[in-house]
């Protein structure tokens, strides 16, 4: 593992330099990787491994939309595409990539098909960390690990095709064979990780749930709405409010942050923007710090897991979800966003 200085803190990470793809192929040469679930992470990880020469099969419920998607992606029923149970039986590495609620629902069936020495692989620490709520308790005679890409399945596939990869965390929960570490890291490299940093199942799910509810999605959407509607209240047009709130962030500034860091972005904007951003940054931080403490406590207590499992278990969950998303989609702010996106140069009529 390579030692990297992360802002004065030395961490050990795994890069492609010390664990190249050829080594990953060698580690996995006798394995059959069964990817269970072809929804969010499943397609990207399965396709990336297949493209990298790993033996992969897919498990999905027949007759579902995702079963048809798997066929469209080239997986063949009876050859590389099977029911969840049959794929689990055929695999030596079982990538359990169903939704968190789906993992709880299917676990009593899947656990019956785990064989001694298998590796049970997750991309989220949820089911193991909150096992008292999910009932996902692996047998003692299998390896258990995770590789969690730091991005959506769409990004995992898109970055792979672009040759850039995506960063991922990894953790070993149970090492029955003595080979859990090398099997797990090999899988991380095979799905296209740019580098892998160690974590635990607990830390992965705590940071992930906090991030999703916070900066990555929940807080981001909330802050955008607060600024947009304040600008509208003050008489600004929808186009101006959206451009100053979302479009400039997503199409310009956040790209500069990703490429060079926040300090570089500050240094390369107007002096007016610099001064204002520096003066207001800490006020925003102080305003939201109590909310982030409350959020983390809710995650660590298992309360957020309970809410997720209860909501996803309701028979009308999909219907209610669509109603909630429709409210967002049909809001003035995101209707304005659709109009602004349509006016981007790449969408102009030729």
Dist CA 194 CA 191 (whole Å): 10
Catalytic residue selected from 113, 124, 157, 232 = 124
Cα–Cα distance measured from residue 105 to residue 100, given in angstroms and rounded to the nearest whole number: 9
> How many CB atoms are located within 10 Å of the residue 288 CB?
16
d(CA 276, CA 265): 14
In sequence order, the β-bridge partners of residue 143 are 119
Site of tokens 């009529």: 349
Outline where DSSP puts E strands in the chain: 2-6, 9-15, 33-36, 56-59, 81-82, 93-96, 119-122, 143-149, 166-174, 193-198
Task: Indicate the SS3 state at residue 93.
Answer: strand
Whether 124 is catalytic is yes
**Residue 311 CB-half CA count within 13 A:** 13
Share of the chain residues as helix, strand and coil, in percent rounded to the nearest 5: 55, 15, 25
DSSP assignment of 99-132: -HHHHHHHHHHHGGG--TT-EEEESSSHHHHTHH
Q: How far is CA 208 from the centre of its chain?
A: 8
Chain-centre distance of CA 110, in angstroms?
23
Positions annotated as catalytic residues are 124
């Amino acid at each position: 593992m390579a030692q990297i200085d992360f802002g004065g803190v030395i961490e050990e990470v795994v890069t492609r330099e010390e664990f190249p793809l050829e080594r990953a192929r060698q580690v996995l040469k006798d394995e059959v990787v069964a990817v269970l679930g072809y929804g969010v992470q499943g397609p990207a990880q399965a396709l990336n491994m297949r493209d990298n020469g790993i033996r992969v099969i897919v498990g999905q419920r027949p007759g579902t939309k995702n079963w048809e998607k798997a066929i469209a992606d080239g997986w063949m029923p009876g050859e590389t595409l099977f029911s969840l149970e049959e794929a689990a039986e055929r695999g030596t590495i079982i990538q359990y990539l169903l939704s968190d609620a789906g993992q709880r629902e299917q676990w009593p069936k899947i656990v019956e098909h785990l064989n001694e020495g298998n590796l049970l692989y997750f991309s989220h620490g949820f089911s193991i960390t909150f096992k008292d709520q999910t009932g996902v308790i692996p047998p003692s005679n299998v390896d258990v690990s995770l590789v969690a890409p730091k991005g959506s399945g769409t990004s995992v596939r898109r970055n792979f095709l672009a040759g850039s990869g995506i960063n991922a965390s990894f953790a070993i929960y149970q090492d029955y064979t003595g080979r859990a570490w090398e099997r797990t890291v090999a899988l991380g490299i095979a799905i296209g990780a740019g580098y892998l940093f160690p974590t635990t199942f607990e830390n992965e799910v705590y940071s992930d749930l906090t991030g999703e509810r916070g900066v990555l999605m929940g807080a981001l959407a909330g802050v955008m709405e607060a600024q947009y509607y304040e600008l509208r209240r003050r008489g600004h047009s929808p186009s101006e409010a959206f451009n100053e709130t979302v479009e400039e962030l997503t199409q310009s500034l956040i790209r500069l942050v990703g490429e060079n860091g926040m300090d570089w972005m500050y240094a390369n904007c107007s002096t007016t923007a610099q001064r204002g951003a520096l003066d207001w940054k800490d006020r925003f931080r102080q305003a939201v710090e109590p909310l982030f403490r409350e959020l983390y406590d809710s995650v660590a207590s298992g309360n957020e897991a309970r809410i997720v499992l209860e909501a996803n278990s309701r028979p009308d969950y999909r219907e209610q979800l669509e109603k909630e998303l429709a409210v967002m989609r049909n809001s003035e702010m995101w209707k304005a966003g659709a109009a602004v996106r349509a006016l981007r140069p790449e969408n102009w009529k030729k």
